[in-house]
Structure 1
Amino acid sequence: MPPAALPDSPDAPRPPWRGLALLTAAVVLAHLALLGLAPPAGAPRPSPLANTFITRSIVVAPPPAPAPAAAAAPVVKAAPAPPRPVRPRPAPRPRPAIEPAPAPAAAAASVPPEAPPNDLIAQAEIDAGNAQAPEGNAGGAASGASGASGAGGGETAGNITGPVALQISGSVRLAFAATAQQGAQPLQGVFGELVWLQDGSHYDASLSWTFLFKTLRSQHSAGNIGPTGIEPLRFSDKRKTEVTSHFERDKGLVVFSSNAPSVMLLAGAQDRLSVVLQLGALLAGDPARYPSGAVIAVQTVGPRDAEIWTFNVEGEEELTVPAGDFKARKLTRNPRKPFDDRIELWLAPSLGWLPVRIKQTQTNGDFIDLQMRSQVPLRASNP
């Protein structure tokens, strides 16, 4: 049986290693305190975000240091500069006498470069008080009374001057058979239709080409009938998409939906559809004013531009179209720049000077030739 453990007696001596350990700890703390490495008493615990890092740099510009106030410099008033001596002006030299240049003729501004001055008939303005409203019959309308002289004051080859009369056709629907050429492929079975409606104050005109019940192209013109005859307000040309031209007459501008620059609106301006009907109205009003060899100049607005179109008036022709035999006056608009089209119109007096044939030829040889096959008089209220 092992002996029972006995408690230490108070008088028993302590082991010597404890004293050595206490002495060593006291010496180490003393050295740390002297070296400043011991943590100060009551120091805060490190923040838990101390080990949280970001991978991008954040640059914080320090606020600019205020500039030290500069010492106020004493204000020194400069002495006034002495006045400059006034030099006498030299006597003016006598200027040589200059004879004034002769004023240009009134018609020169509207004469096309290739047209002789004596062969120009510009679009005319008719006195609003004397112009008569056209009747709504198929054969024609009452001619407009005389008014102001034509803009530009040009003369015909027959030396006929004076006020211009207009006669606007009544409402009618014209159907056309067409032949066309596109590249090496001729197109058969193309049909056209011209619908002209007017009530004496307003008009609406449309021209369309169809092939196999599909509309290839359509043009539409609408506006008023006023002192200058047909006065368009809106013109549209549609192939795959529609582009429009707006006649802002109160501003004297033509504005295009294609974002093309606006152009100045001239007196008697037409669009590419209404010009055909306006030419007929001019010839119907006074056929003798436009003999063979005369030229009619009209500002003509397209979907993206406005140019002066000149039509050469030619003689009378015997014409056979699907609708029958007609005597017609031919007008030709020749191309004046690259990619211009040649336009030929045959206007029949027996039809109220409406077109019985329209041919348009491109510079590459493609063309479309519309020849009238029927006519149906309409009322302005009909669609």
Structure 2
Amino acid sequence: MTMAPPPTEYQRGHSRSLFVLIAAALLHLLAISWLGGLLRFPGSHPPEDTAVIIATLTAPPPKPVIKAAPKPVRHKPRPPKPRPSPPPAIPLDMPPTLAASETTSTDIPDSESNSDDIATSAATETPVADPEQNSVRYNIDLPPSAELKYDVQKTPKEGAPMYGSGTISWHTDGSKYSVNGDFGVLFITALSFQSTGAIEDTGIAPELYSEKRFRKAETNTHFHRERNTISFSSSTLSYPRSGGEQDRASIIWQLAGIGRGDSGKFVAGASIDLFVAGTRNAETWQILVLGLEEIKVDGVSTQAWHLARAPRVGSYDQKLDIWLAPEQNWYPVRLRYTETNGDYLDMTLTSLNVSAVH
């Protein structure tokens, strides 16, 4: 094997020059790369691809304004006002014949005791009467004197009916009049009454009304002609008297006189207003004309005008029904009193004796 000859001095110098040139060229390349940002150092992470996004920034839509619900105003609960107990179902102005409806026991209560106790709290005051209350004038033709007898039946809402009898004596001589009556149930005289006075152009003009109930003191209602006032023995109230006022007994006969003398007022749906005095106070009674009906009187059919007293709204007065028979001189052939609790008292004519009283 032939060995190569060692390099000469020239060759070694030429190699060193070539190495220097190559090294200088590499240094220039490195400088250019570094300046151009292409130089990557070992150990550095290559940059991730960067996406350039051009976006138009707009203001976000405003959030809806939600108003908070107003806090409920809490009121301190007021203590409930105590309700007054309703007054007992006792009428303010009970007609005289109502006493028989209250004879379930031997003690007959005073029909006006509650309402009149309230009224007497203003005893020193004189009630002012409505000037229009008696402005209506009727043609009056009172029926002839007679004695009327009735069968009485009291029917409670619960329980068995009770029976009794009653009598009304009516007398007039054309200038004066009198009405006497008594009623009873179970052989007990529950009520007796009397009305006396004059006959004027307005019809019946009471002067004195007396009433006596079982176990009660007698009361008197005075119609003063000279003073034109109405006063009571059991009350200090007084009312003006202007003509046309009635008492509990006379009102039925005043209605009969209107029927005989002014029958055109009796039309279904019409009303007749009369100022009526009781034993302690007075008020206007509204009498409604309901219509002409056929009823039986002692087994015989007859036509009769059905009238009804309409109590005030909210009052505890009883309802009063009256049947006046034109074929029998407009006498009251039937009476019925209905209480607010449903009890009712029915009185049917059984005997009529005209001109029996003189």
TM-score range normalised by the length of the shorter chain: 0.5 to 0.7
Residues 1:225 and 1:256: Cα distance change in structure 2 (over 3 Å)? same
Distance in 1, Cα, partners of 2:277 & 2:142: 20
1:346 maps to which residue?
323
Is there any run of 5+ residues in structure 2 with no aligned partner, and where? 1-129
Give the counterpart of 1:293 among 242, 256, 269.
269
1:226 maps to which residue?
200
Please tell me whether the aligned partners of residues 266 and 299 of structure 1 are also in contact (alpha carbons under 8 angstroms): no
What's the offset of the Cα at 1:259? Answer: 2.3
Please tell me whether the aligned partners of residues 199 and 380 of structure 1 are also in contact (alpha carbons under 8 angstroms): no
Distance in 2, Cα, partners of 1:200 & 1:323: 33
1:256-271 counterparts in 2 under 5 A? Answer: 256-271=232-247
Which protein has greater RCO, CA pairs closer than 8 Å, 6+ apart? 2
Q: What's the CA shift string for 1:64-114, capped at 9, x where partnerless? A: xxxxxxxxxxxxxxxxxxxxxxxxxxxxxxxxxxxxxxxxxxxx963xxxx
Distance in 2, Cα, partners of 1:325 & 1:183: 28
Q: Percent identity?
A: 32
1:174 maps to which residue?
148
1:135-284 counterparts in 2 under 5 A? Answer: 151-152=135-136, 164-182=138-156, 184-239=158-213, 240-241=215-216, 242-284=218-260
Q: Secondary structure at the match of 1:283?
A: helix
What's the offset of the Cα at 1:366? Answer: 2.3
Q: Secondary structure at the match of 1:180?
A: strand
Please tell me whether the aligned partners of residues 194 and 249 of structure 2 are also in contact (alpha carbons under 8 angstroms): yes
Residues 1:205 and 1:260: Cα distance change in structure 2 (over 3 Å)? same
Q: Give RMSD over aligned pairs.
A: 1.9
In the alignment, is residue 358 of structure 1 matched against residue 335 of structure 2?
Answer: yes
Is there any run of 5+ residues in structure 1 with no aligned partner, and where? 1-107, 111-121, 124-150, 153-162
What's the offset of the Cα at 1:246? Answer: 0.6
Distance in 2, Cα, partners of 1:323 & 1:218: 28
Larger-gyration structure (1/2): 2
Q: Structure 2: which amino acid aligns with 1:203?
A: Y
2:287 maps to which residue?
311
What's the offset of the Cα at 1:193? Answer: 1.0
Distance in 2, Cα, partners of 1:185 & 1:260: 40
Please tell me whether the aligned partners of residues 323 and 374 of structure 1 are also in contact (alpha carbons under 8 angstroms): no
Q: Which has the higher helix share?
A: 2
**TM-score, scaled relative to structure 1:** 0.56
Distance in 2, Cα, partners of 1:262 & 1:186: 42
Distance in 2, Cα, partners of 1:314 & 1:220: 29
Distance in 2, Cα, partners of 1:375 & 1:219: 20
Pick which of 234-243 and 354-363 moved more: 234-243
1:71 maps to which residue?
none
Q: What's the CA shift string for 1:198-237, capped at 9, x where partnerless? A: 1111111022212233211122211111111111011122
Residues 1:313 and 1:359: Cα distance change in structure 2 (over 3 Å)? same
